[in-house]
Structures are given as C-alpha cells and as structure tokens.
Amino acid sequence: MNETTNLPPLPNRLSTDPRSPHHVAAIFEHAIGIRLNDKERSDVEEYCISEGWVTVPAGKTLDRKGHPLMIKLKGKVEAFYK
C-alpha cells in the first residue's frame, strides 16, 4: 500500500476549527484517530501531544457566540491515521 506514503505527517497540535491557527485542512482529507490514555475518542476538537491534552465539547452547552463549550482533558495523547 503506497497510499500511506502520501499521508502528511500529523502535527504536534491540531484543531478541527477552521478559525484556529492550528487547523490544517490537508490532514482532514484522511481519517485520523485520537487516543487519550489508551482509549480511542471520537469527540476530540483539538489536541496537543507534547503538552498532553485534548479538548472535547461539554455536552450540549454553547457559549455566547453559539460555539460548543469545551473542556480540556489531560493525559497521554496519541494521534494516528485510521
């Protein structure tokens, strides 16, 4: 499979929000996964491997601009292509 050689390297920090400076659109053309403390999570909005945290939505709560309210979870973070 030479498709894996064409995958861009996963950055240390990545965000799904297009307004963020850490958003890289080329990464999201492929399916990626995030593991926090050896458990795969599908609700991660942003992660930082070196600092060991991910942000996830806090239920259905919205901030005053209509965006989901985020909480930061800390632990061992791993990013991978599915």
Return the closest-CA partner of residue 47 out of 61, 60, 32, 59. 32
Mean pLDDT, range 20-38, rounded to an integer? 93
Q: How confident is residue 7, by pLDDT bands cut at 50, 70 and 90?
A: confident
Q: How confident is residue 3, by pLDDT bands cut at 50, 70 and 90?
A: low
Q: Residue 67: what residue type?
A: H
For residue 10, is pLDDT > 60? yes
For the stretch 36-81, pLDDT in tens is 999 999 999 999 999 999 999 999 999 999 999 999 999 999 999 9
Q: Are strands 39-41 and 32-36 parallel, antiparallel or unpaired?
A: antiparallel
